[in-house]
Amino acid sequence: MHKLEEFRHGLAPLGYKVRHLAVECDEIQADTLEEVVECCLDQIMSMGHDGFILDDSGLFVDALKGFPGVYSSYVFSTIGCEGILKLLEGVEDRRARFECCIGCHMSDRGRTVVKGVSHGRIIDEIRGTGGFGYDPIFIPDGSEKTFAEMEMEEKNRFSHRGNAMRLFVEALRSKEGER
């Protein structure tokens, strides 16, 4: 539910009320988050839904050639933060990035897909209790705190989802201006 709160926080200023829609879509095995999001948009639209947003996120670690990437959720559920730290033992280059791809379909505005990125590094310990997923091991550029050590407002200034949300809001405003 952390994602839902982040969406509510990001879209409230535009007057959108965000609620959870319990819909399953088959996640394809793909190379990019955009491909996964586009496929899920198609599936959910084919179920007759309109006015929805979805996202897919991933942690891409340079020293691991982008792993776990599009498989981040599965990797987290199997080896967690501890497993990523184990894979990086003795590795000096700990650069990484989080990516978040947001997709939306509204019948009056069409389809929108944006991607936000947060560059940073993986630390060698787990720090913080907030957030979710890999938040306790990732420090974004420009900070000395992990995402798990940040309050939501601070995290949204740095995070991939915060960046994607700003791009998404900008795209919605642009489409509203076209109407």
Annotated catalytic residues are: 56
* Alpha carbon 64 to its chain's center: 19
13: preceding bond cis by omega (within 30 degrees) = no
Place of tokens 């957030």: 131
User: What radius of gyration, in Å, describes the C-alpha atoms of the chain?
Assistant: 17
Q: Which residues contact 49 (CB under 8 A, 6 or more apart)?
A: 21, 23, 105
